[in-house]
Each structure stands twice: as structure tokens, then as C-alpha cells.
Structure 1
Amino acid sequence: MSTPPRPIKAGNSRHGSIARSPFSTSYLSASPIAHESIERDLAECSDDEVETPDSPSSEDESSESSTIRPDALQHSFSNTYRRPSFVAFGGTRPAITPGPAEGKYLSKKEKKQSRNEERSLLRDNHLAPPKHPEPPKRSAFNRLYRRLFSTKISKRDEEAPPEPIFTAEPSETSALLGESARTHHERLNAQWEAAVAAGKIKTTWQREAKTLWGYSSPLVVTFILQYSLTVASIFTVGHLGKVELGAVSLASMTANITGYAIYQGLATSLDTLCAQAYGSGKRHLVGLQLQRMVCFLWVLTIPIGIIWLSAEKILEMIVPEKESAQFAGLYLRILLIGAPGYAAFESGKRFVQAQGLFSATTYVLLIAAPLNAFMNWLFVWQFKWGFVGAPVAVVVTDNLLPLLLFLYVRFVDGRQCWNGFTKRAFHNWGPMVKLALPGLLMVEAEFLAFEILTLASSYFGTTHLAAQSILSTLTALTFQIPFPISIAASTRVANLIGATLTDAAKTSAKVAMCAATIVGVFNVVLLSSMRFYIPQLFTNDQGVIDLVASVLPLCAAFQLFDALAANCNGLLRGLGRQEIGGWVNLFCYYVVAMPISFGTGFGLGWELYGLWSGVALALGLVAALEGFFIYRADWDQAVEDAQDRNAAG
């Protein structure tokens, strides 16, 4: 028997028709630092710079206005990945899956999506008239198809078929008094709340599978496109020789830790600043926050540049392979030219995501990723530039990304939040830096564990460093599928919990776990069955191919744990307990994995196999601990906690 829904706590009165949208942000939190920053910026603005909200021209526009009072959002819908710092994350495989930004304001598209989801669930539960009338007779095949894949609740599961609680639209005979004063969206909100309070909203595995696919498929494309920027260089340079292949891995490690992770970590503060500026109706401040972050990151490029220019000497003191260190230093010196462009893109994608324009980065990558692969081939092999051609292709791509994003904003969408360049971009950096530092520490922790393995592998020789480059690339590439699924699971579970639909959230979590298991098994089979062929795509060196083929079964074996661990992290974020996942990951990687990796790799002489043994055990432990916590979690308490956080926000 399903648990009866807990009553929705009373909140502030509605301000506009979207105030009672069905799905609430399950771990909503306001940022005092962001409010402080916005207040300071407003104090510096002249009266003619502050825009006034446009008068709504229609009922629908009124409901979809992006200027929303915070107290009206007690139960508002928000995707938990609507401002994700990790969409188009790039770099190598993270050790600690980052949590989503906690936005509290909705774009027009999100509000429309909320209402559509609400109507669809009501129809599936036979509480609203069907979208299309039922045909009088169906074929046997059609009946079988609907039985297997229909998202509707089977009426046989109900003791008595429920009566529809509303009609979709008022008819000509509907009462005018009272009804005419309520908008269609307000009626929908009231009807949804009545259904939830009565415990009539349920879901099916078919609906959750469909929703999971809809959420995750575009993210998978985006992740793979972004990571292909890294794969292209390794794939192209690998055929030059094992020294060059190892050097690319060494250079990428240094660039990630000392540069890219800093840019990504600090830019996460825009997930809060831009989102709250946009949601509170101060659109001109969204562009101001973008300018401020770009200037800040460009200033930081100076010390980063000093490190990259000196990387050859630094690496020669750390790694025993001097030739690899020299090639890595050359790679980083060229890569420095693209650092400002990379910083601008990391800031720019938060600018468009704050406006709900998530497809912008995907469109940009659809152009840049294939072009990057072509340039790698062209520069390295056709122009005969050799090793130098790879970083040149990366530089061109890094500078092309912000340019393409600018063209999207200028000619497609997002321009409304740009108010021109201003000197205020050089003021009020304090709140931005305070918000940025935690993000920096998180991203650095994500990168560091796997980069340590790359550094350690160099002590076994050039062949091992080259093999490590291939192995880390492959495991990172396979991770680009379960990780977006975990984001989708986080989204769905958080939305259902925010809507007080505990049973539906559990069903969604079970479907997500099944999907993660399927993906994990697929990765296991793929890597293990192709272990002698995949390395040949990256290098012609037989010694590197044999070494990769010998270690790849271990990497294949932990793919299932990898997928389950990623999914458990997503479910914990959806439950609003993302701190559990953070601490478990930190413990397993730095307390368990690193000692085992170094002990078996160096102490027992297992070398590369030993380094990856620690990672495999850590992933299994992460999946077990987080899975046990999710199994024992009080989902009803998670609903109450979500309501408390929303009320506090």
C-alpha cells in the first residue's frame, strides 16, 4: 500500500499563476552573498539603467514573465540541472561528480514545461480528459504496444476508476461568475493541488523511462561533444609516437590542475549570481556579472601563464621522462594563447544558462567539435606540423568557442541580458570571489585524484605514461553516458520530491538505477570485448597496445560500479543530500584509492595495473555506501526537508 501524501505546507499567497506550479526545487537556497552583490550593483546604477518589466500583452505572457517575486516560488518548478556548471564540463574524468547549482528562478520555457508535465500526469492518472479521444477499436499489435509502453496508470490497478476532477477548458455553459476571474493556469494549479492532496497522482516505469530519456539524451550529446575536444588531440598525436602520446597526457594534466580547473571552479559563482540577477528581473546585471567574471579570469591568466611558460622546467624536476616533459612544456606554451578564450567561454555559457538557454552550448559544440577534429588531422598530418599541430588546433578551438557563443547571443537569443560594456565590471569583486572559492576547491578535488595517477604512471616509463593516457581517456569517455543520466535522475527525483510525490520519486529512482545498470554492463562488454582493438585507434606502438590491452579488463570491470556510483550521486542530489555523496567520494578516493593505488603500483610492483586497482575498489565502495544510504533513506522526510528549504528560500 502506498504511503499517503503529506499535506502541502501553507505558504505565502500566490503572486501570479505560476506560484503553485507542481514541481518545486527540492533543495532551494537563497544566497545572501549574491543578494549583497546585486544590491551593491543596483546602488551604483543610474535610474535610466534599471529596466522596468514589460507590461504583459496577454494572459500567457503574464504567467510566463521572468520577473518573479521570491515569495511566490514556494512550490515552483525548476530543473535541478537548469544552471549546471557541469554541462559541457570538459577536461578529464572527474573523481567527484559535481552537484547542480541551486537556482530558484524559472525561464519561460521551464514554466511551460512545468504546466505540460502537470497536465500529462493528470491525464495519465485519468484525472483529466485525454489529449486525443480513444478510438473505438484497436488492433492486437496496438493493444500490446500500449500495454508495454503506455505511460497511463492501468485502471485495473484502481479499486474504482477515478472521476476526472476537471475539464481541460471551460465550455460555453460554464459558470461565468468566479470562473472568468481565474486564468487557465490558476485552474490548473488548483486542480493539481487537489489531486496531490487526495493522493491520486502516481507514475509508471514507462513514464519515468521516457522522462529519463528526454532529460539525458541531449546532455549525453553535449558531454561527448565537449570531451571530444580532448580525445581529438590524444587520438591524433598518439600515432606520432608513445613519447608524444605521453606528453599530451602530461600537458593535459598540468593544464587541468593549474588552469582549466581554476577557470571552471571560479566561474561556478555565476551559476548563482547570474541566475539570481535574471530571476529578480535585473537583466542588465546578468551581463555585468559576465563582464566581471571574464575580467577576473583574465587577470588570473597572468599567474597561470607564468606557470605554463615555466612548465617544462617544473615537470623535469617532477617526472623522470625528460623528453615527455619537454614536449609537454611546448604544448602548454602554445596552449596559453587559447586560455583567455577558454575563460570567456566558461563564463559565457553560464550567461546563457542563467536565461534557460541550455541548447546554446550544444549548438556551439556541434560546430566546434567536428571542426576541432578536422583541424587536428589537418595541422598534424596534412600540414606536417607534427606534435605542434595538436595544441594549435586546441588554441583555435578555445578562441572559436566564445566567438560562436557570442554569435548565438547576438543573432539568436540571449541579447536581452546584455546592456553594453561598463566600467562597473572592475568594481564589487568581493562577493564574486567569496562565492567562487568553494567551487574552485570542489573542481580541483575532482580533477586531482585522476591526475595524480597520470603523474605516478610517468615513473614506470614512457610506455606506461602513454598507456595511462589511453586508459584515462577511455574511462572518461565511457563516463560521459552514465553521468548525464545521473543528472537526469537528480532532476526528476528532485522535482517529484518537491511536488510531495514520494512514491513517484521512488519509482523514478528505481528506473534510474536500472538504466545505470544497463549502461554499466554495456560499457563492461564493450571495453572487455574490444580490448585488443581499441588501443590501435590511439597508437601504432605495439608495446603500448599490449599494455593497454592487459589493463583494460580491470577498467572494464569497474564500469558497472562507475555507472552505479554516478547514478547514486545523482539520486542523493535529488534527495537534497548531496553532501553525503561529496564526503563519500572524498573518503573513497583520497583515503582508500590513493593508498591502495600507490601500495600496489609501487610497493607490490603491479605498476599500471596496481594504480587502477585502487580506483576500481574505490568506485565499488562508493556505489555500495551511497546505494545503502539511498536504500535506507526516509523519502517522506526528504519531502518535508524540501518544503522547509523552499519556505526558507
Structure 2
Amino acid sequence: MATPHTHADSSDGPRSTLTSQLEHLLASSPIAEEAIARDLEEDESEVEEESSSEEGSDASTVRQYSMIHSYRRPSYVNPGARSTAIFSSSVPEHGYLSKKEREHCREEERSLLRDNQLLPPKHPRRGSEGAGGIARKLSVGALRKVRSAADEESAGERTALLGGDPSLPYGGLDTPRNLQKTWDAAVAAGKITTTWQREAKVLTKSSAPLILTFLLQYSLPVASIFSVGHIGRIELGAVSLATMTASITGFAVYQGLATALDTLCAQAYGSGRPHLVGLQFQRMLWFLWVITIPIAVIWSFGTQILNLIVPEKETAHLAGLYLKILIAGAPGYAAFEAGKRYVQAQGLFSATMYTLLIGAPLNALLNYLLVWRVGWGFVGAPIAVAITENILPLLLFLYVRFIDGYQCWGGFDRRALKNWVPMIKLALPGLVMVLAEFLAFEILTLSSSWIGPIELAAQSVLGSITGITFQIPFPMSVAASTRVANLIGATLAVPAKTAAKVAFVFAVFIGCLNMLLLSTLRNYIPRLFTPDPEVITEVANLLPLCAAFQLFDALACNCNGVLRGLGRQEIGGYVGLFAYYVVGLPISFGTGFGAKWGLYGLWAGPAIGLATVALIEGLFIWKTSWERAVEDAHRRNIEA
């Protein structure tokens, strides 16, 4: 049976394409299959496999041209000041989809068939109502109604030819069997097309909840910068340095290792034994808690380590203090990262969003109360973060226990303390890739500390600002990647190309909007982060440069999304390595320290790197054969 080909769904522009490429390899790795098989052999419980009565014998069939053929479950992480993110696909190789997911794919098929007049309308048409008045009859709107009436009449003739009961939605012809037959015939005949309006609607609808989720999660570190930044420039630089250190030595470690669950939990869910999802979650949770021990040791010696790297001793001392307090939140952070993948393997993507809808405002409130109202000052910020990181997994647990997701929990299992080798084999490569991505951008914060405390504080503000603006084009690239990949998987080359064009237009619009906002508000935005006049001046002088590469940032992000949809994410990996490690970082060091341009020179590197990514990948996509992409996807699906 042909099963869906698993590949990375999205990444943080070129920064995370490497990880997405890695996860593509992980998802098809025999290591994961071996791990699941071993768990199944040891499983003594009898679990009845569920089947959908609606789908009958078609429940386990993946059709050649179906949208189901390309459906993915994306999961994400969102650490660091730059919001490095990883979206991965985790459809089990068994081709299993839940009833809800399968219905989502069928709805896509219904919608496209309806738009191409191959299926009757969803809602029965009612008689058109007349309009009185010469002016209204001769108006542009009236002329459009005349044209629309003609189209409806034509559509009505087609509906009549299609048959069915016109009083029922879709004429009553949207049964699974008839839908399958109509869809396969239409795709084979090349009758499925799409429009710019439709793809714009799909892109907007898909990206809106993602934007909200990413903004909420990104607000967690930004809240500390907001609250501490008004204390002083030293404190502002220290919180940025501490966040960067925590990301590289701790958060990125948790996130990279947890990527193994994107494969293991999904395959366990697809095996028909849902309680194995809970077993894999427990296994990773214990593993991450063991890893917390060396992380805590590193953070406890943060002051001594940073003193060897950072010239400003007071900044290093405060950053080390921040890291020591943050140790209390590390176990909760690890639990939340593992828990996210537990629920996402079941297709419960709203669980994380609802959790953050409570956790993010709570984090902001705690920062305000502890830093200012209680009067704890700088130490109040890491305490607020540590409390929030422990509350988030508790909120997620409450969602699972009382709303949805508890069906995959089989209770605590001793088997979680063994069979770690396959999991570690999958986790370690992910760790290496995530750390490589972090270093490419977080190194700017470390480098700015060698220029001066003002520049370090300004770097903290600039990193936060550009991180916030990035939360719009990145989720849109995720939606574009999913849409293009699904259409490619359904062998719809021309609609996929149309979807990519719409995504590029959206990227240009968002990039220009961010550019306009940063340029016009460059003298006001820094005041939200700090009252220090020198830091405000430094940030205001650099914001035009940050504004200039917003367009390149959005375009590069979108290009990577389209490449992942085409199944060519390795191109983004190679381009990312070249653009950031060969072009961007050398230019940053050369202009920042060699030419003595300071922070302006350090930010010139990423700007040129993003432009390089957008140019190279844009040319590659322009030259891409979409028909060949369909053939490649079809071949991979057969071989999967």
C-alpha cells in the first residue's frame, strides 16, 4: 500500500532547514521502526484497533491522487531570542490518519471539486431576488449580478448534469465512495485548478492561528526584556546574554533531543496502539530530566564561564545569577517540550495554543509583579520565567486529562526506563543540527558584548524587535509549505504553483509592512524596551538597517517554505550553510570588528545573508519543474 512520504514541513527560514532535512531522514529511519516493534513485542496488553464505520473498507486505503496522500502533522519548537523554529512532519509510515484528519482532507477535496464545478454547491441555491430602480440596474454591482446570474445558470445546468438532489448539500453526492471516484477521475483528467482568491483565503486561514501561537510563545522571553530593560542598560544586556546562553546550553538541547518524538510518538500512534505514545513520552521525559543534571551544572557556573568570555564583569555576574535561578524552571521546560509532541502526535495542535493563551499573559503579569511591584528587581525576571516554565506543563496536563489526549496515556510504565538506545540515536543528530542553527544567530549577542554595554543592550532590543516581526512571515511560510506539499502530493502541479505565487505575494506584502513599521516608528519602538537615551539612540540608528532586510527575511522564509513543500529542503540546507557561515558571519566580523563599524557592522552580515538566501532560492524555485516535483513526490510515496 502506498503510504505518505514523511518530510519536514517547515523551518525557520534557512536557520532550520537543516533540522527539517534531518527530520525528513529521521521520519523514514528504520531505527524508529525497530523501537516501535520492540515495544509492541513487549506489550502484553490487548488494545482493540479502532476503525471508522463511516469509511468502511476504505478506512485504511490511501488513494493515488488523494489529498490524504500528502497530509502531514506539523510540530514545532520555538526557542531563543531569534525564535529559531522547527516544523517537522510526523505522519506515521503506516498511513494511519484519525477520523478527524481524514475528514479534513476530504473537505479539501470537496471544496476543490465544488470550485471546479465537478460537484454541486454545498448550499442549495435559492431564487435570485429582484432589484428595483434604474440606477441600481445600471450600476456596476448590478452588471456583476447579471454576470453572476449567468454563471449560476451555467452552474445549474452543470449541477443538473451531475445529478443528485439539489436540495441537499453537494447534491447529496459527497459520500466517501463517490467523492473518491470523482476526485480521482478529475485529477487524472487534469480538471482540478485553483484561483488566487482561493489560495489567499486558505493561506490566511491556515496561518492566523499559527501567528497567534508563535507570538504567545515568543512573548515569554520578551516579557523579561521588557521588564528588566527599564531598570538599566547593564541589566538589559545581562538578560539578553543570559537568554542566549540558556538557549545554546539548555533550551536548544531540550528541543533538539525532543525532535526524536516527532517520529517515535507519531509512529506509535500510527501503530494502532495509542498507549505507546504515552510510553515514548515517558521515555523522553526521563531522558530529558537526566540531561537536566549537566545543564544545571553548567548554569550554576554561569558567572565563571561568562567571565572568561564577556569583558564586562558586572554583566557576566548578573547573567550568571539569571542562569542559576533559571535552573528551577528547567525540568518544567523539558516536560513541556516532551508534552507538546505527545499531544501533537495525536493531531491536537490547539492544546499548545490554549496552554499559551493562559501561560503567556501569566508570565507577563509575574514579570511585572516580581520585578516592580514586589521590588525584587532583576532577580524577579528569572523567577517569573521559572514559575511560568513549571506552570505550562501543568496546564498542558490539565488539557490532556479533562479535554482531549488522555486516551494515549496508559499509565506509568517501567519500560520507560529501558530501550533508550533507538531514541538517543534519533535525538543526537537533531541536537547537533539545532545547536548549529542557534550558533549562527546567537553569536551576534555574544559578539556585541565585546563592543560595549550600550551595544549589548541595543543588541538585546534589536534581537527582540526582529524576533517579533519574524513571527508573521514564518507562520505564513509554514502554511504555504503545507499547502504546496499537499497539492504536490495530490499530483496537482498547476494549483501548487499558483499557491506558491500567492505565498510570494503575501511575503512581499508582509516584508514591506514590517519595513514600513520599523522605519516610521524607529524613534518610538526602543522606548518600549528601555528609558536609557544612549541605548534608544543606538537602536534608532540601527532600525533602518533592520527594516531594510525585512523584505529579504520574509522572502527567504517563504522560499524555504516552498522548497519544503516541493520536497527539496536539502537545497535550503546547503544555501543556509553558505549564506550564514560563508557569507554572513565573515561579513559581520569583518565589518563589525575589522572595519570598526560596531553593531551596525555585525547586523550587516545577516542582512546580506538573507538577501543571498532569497536570491539563490528564488532563482531555484523559478527554474523548478513543478511537473517533475509531482513525479518525484509520487515516486517517493510509492517507495515509502
Equivalent position SS for 1:523:
helix
Distance 2:28 2:57 in 1: 23
- For 1:391-430, what aligned pairs fall within 5 Å after superposition? 391-430=382-421
Match of 2:48? 52
Identity score, percent: 60
Q: 1:303 is aligned with what amino acid? A: P
Q: Residue 530 of structure 1: CA displacement?
A: 0.5
Distance 1:145 1:466 in 2: 60
Q: Residue 169 of structure 1: CA displacement?
A: 6.8
Q: Residue 145 of structure 1: CA displacement?
A: 11
Q: Residue 438 of structure 1: CA displacement?
A: 2.2
Distance 1:562 1:146 in 2: 43
Structure 1 residue 33 and structure 2 residue 31: aligned? yes
Are the aligned partners of 1:128 and 1:168 in contact in 2 as well (CA < 8 Å)? no
- Sort the Cα spacing of 1:245 and 1:516 in 2 relative to 1 into closer, same or farther, 3 A: same
Q: 1:483 aligns with which of 454, 465, 474?
A: 474
Distance 2:403 2:557 in 1: 34
Q: 2:290 aligns with which of 296, 299, 304?
A: 299
Q: Which stretches in structure 2 are left out of the alignment for 5+ residues?
A: 9-23
Q: Residue 34 of structure 1: CA displacement?
A: 1.1
Match of 2:210? 219
Are the aligned partners of 2:69 and 2:489 in contact in 1 as well (CA < 8 Å)? no
Are the aligned partners of 1:90 and 1:223 in contact in 2 as well (CA < 8 Å)? no
Equivalent position SS for 1:362:
helix
Q: Residue 166 of structure 1: CA displacement?
A: 4.6
Distance 1:145 1:606 in 2: 62
Are the aligned partners of 2:65 and 2:489 in contact in 1 as well (CA < 8 Å)? no
Distance 1:114 1:74 in 2: 12
Structure 1 residue 451 and structure 2 residue 446: aligned? no
Are the aligned partners of 1:483 and 1:567 in contact in 2 as well (CA < 8 Å)? yes
Match of 1:261? 252
Q: Deviations over 1:240-292 (max 9, x none)?
A: 00000000000001000000001001101101100011012111110000000
Match of 1:467? 458
- For 1:230-249, what aligned pairs fall within 5 Å after superposition? 230-249=221-240
Are the aligned partners of 1:24 and 1:76 in contact in 2 as well (CA < 8 Å)? no
Q: 1:59 is aligned with what amino acid? A: E
Distance 2:210 2:308 in 1: 40
- Sort the Cα spacing of 1:55 and 1:525 in 2 relative to 1 into closer, same or farther, 3 A: closer
Structure 1 residue 595 and structure 2 residue 595: aligned? no
Q: 1:93 aligns with which of 82, 99, 123?
A: 82
Q: Deviations over 1:384-440 (max 9, x none)?
A: 000010000000100001000000000000000000001100111111111112221
Q: 2:551 is aligned with what amino acid? A: L
- Sort the Cα spacing of 1:307 and 1:98 in 2 relative to 1 into closer, same or farther, 3 A: same
Are the aligned partners of 2:370 and 2:384 in contact in 1 as well (CA < 8 Å)? yes
Distance 2:598 2:316 in 1: 20
Equivalent position SS for 1:250:
helix
Distance 2:165 2:431 in 1: 50
**Structure 1 residues 286-295 or 443-452, which shifts more?**
443-452
Are the aligned partners of 1:83 and 1:350 in contact in 2 as well (CA < 8 Å)? no
Q: 1:500 aligns with which of 491, 494, 517?
A: 491
Distance 2:57 2:372 in 1: 56
Distance 1:170 1:272 in 2: 45
Distance 1:171 1:81 in 2: 35
Equivalent position SS for 1:114:
helix
Distance 2:99 2:554 in 1: 33
Are the aligned partners of 1:26 and 1:495 in contact in 2 as well (CA < 8 Å)? no
Are the aligned partners of 2:488 and 2:566 in contact in 1 as well (CA < 8 Å)? yes
Q: Residue 92 of structure 1: CA displacement?
A: 2.1
- Sort the Cα spacing of 1:326 and 1:164 in 2 relative to 1 into closer, same or farther, 3 A: farther
Are the aligned partners of 1:513 and 1:564 in contact in 2 as well (CA < 8 Å)? yes
Are the aligned partners of 1:483 and 1:563 in contact in 2 as well (CA < 8 Å)? yes
Are the aligned partners of 1:80 and 1:490 in contact in 2 as well (CA < 8 Å)? no
Q: 2:380 is aligned with what amino acid? A: G
Q: Residue 108 of structure 1: CA displacement?
A: 2.4
Are the aligned partners of 1:520 and 1:564 in contact in 2 as well (CA < 8 Å)? yes
Q: 2:508 is aligned with what amino acid? A: T
Q: 2:350 aligns with which of 330, 350, 359?
A: 359
Q: 2:630 aligns with which of 609, 628, 639?
A: 639
Are the aligned partners of 1:270 and 1:350 in contact in 2 as well (CA < 8 Å)? yes
Distance 1:286 1:168 in 2: 43
Q: Deviations over 1:169-201 (max 9, x none)?
A: 7999xxxxxx9xx99212211110011111111
- Sort the Cα spacing of 1:569 and 1:82 in 2 relative to 1 into closer, same or farther, 3 A: same
Equivalent position SS for 1:128:
coil
Superposition RMSD in Å: 2.9
- Sort the Cα spacing of 1:168 and 1:249 in 2 relative to 1 into closer, same or farther, 3 A: farther
Q: 1:111 is aligned with what amino acid? A: R
Distance 1:209 1:63 in 2: 36
Q: Residue 93 of structure 1: CA displacement?
A: 1.5
- Sort the Cα spacing of 1:228 and 1:43 in 2 relative to 1 into closer, same or farther, 3 A: same
Q: Residue 163 of structure 1: CA displacement?
A: 6.9
Distance 1:115 1:50 in 2: 31
- Sort the Cα spacing of 1:118 and 1:529 in 2 relative to 1 into closer, same or farther, 3 A: same
Equivalent position SS for 2:506:
helix
- Sort the Cα spacing of 1:643 and 1:147 in 2 relative to 1 into closer, same or farther, 3 A: farther
Are the aligned partners of 1:572 and 1:580 in contact in 2 as well (CA < 8 Å)? yes
Distance 1:78 1:247 in 2: 49
- Sort the Cα spacing of 1:617 and 1:51 in 2 relative to 1 into closer, same or farther, 3 A: same
Match of 2:269? 278
Are the aligned partners of 2:79 and 2:251 in contact in 1 as well (CA < 8 Å)? no
More helix by share: 2
Are the aligned partners of 1:335 and 1:395 in contact in 2 as well (CA < 8 Å)? yes
- Sort the Cα spacing of 1:26 and 1:242 in 2 relative to 1 into closer, same or farther, 3 A: closer
Equivalent position SS for 2:346:
coil
Q: 1:53 is aligned with what amino acid? A: E
Match of 1:103? 91
Name segments (4+ residues, structure 1) moved above 6 Å.
23-28, 71-74, 138-143, 145-148, 161-165, 169-172
Distance 2:144 2:562 in 1: 28
Equivalent position SS for 2:76:
coil
Q: Residue 627 of structure 1: CA displacement?
A: 0.4
Distance 2:585 2:437 in 1: 14
Distance 1:146 1:41 in 2: 67
Q: 1:546 aligns with which of 537, 541, 544?
A: 537
Distance 1:94 1:146 in 2: 50
Equivalent position SS for 2:75:
coil
Equivalent position SS for 1:77:
helix
Q: Deviations over 1:470-506 (max 9, x none)?
A: 0011111110100000000000000000111111001
Distance 1:50 1:236 in 2: 53
Match of 2:611? 620
- For 1:496-575, what aligned pairs fall within 5 Å after superposition? 496-575=487-566
Match of 1:176? none
Q: Deviations over 1:223-246 (max 9, x none)?
A: 000000011000000000000000
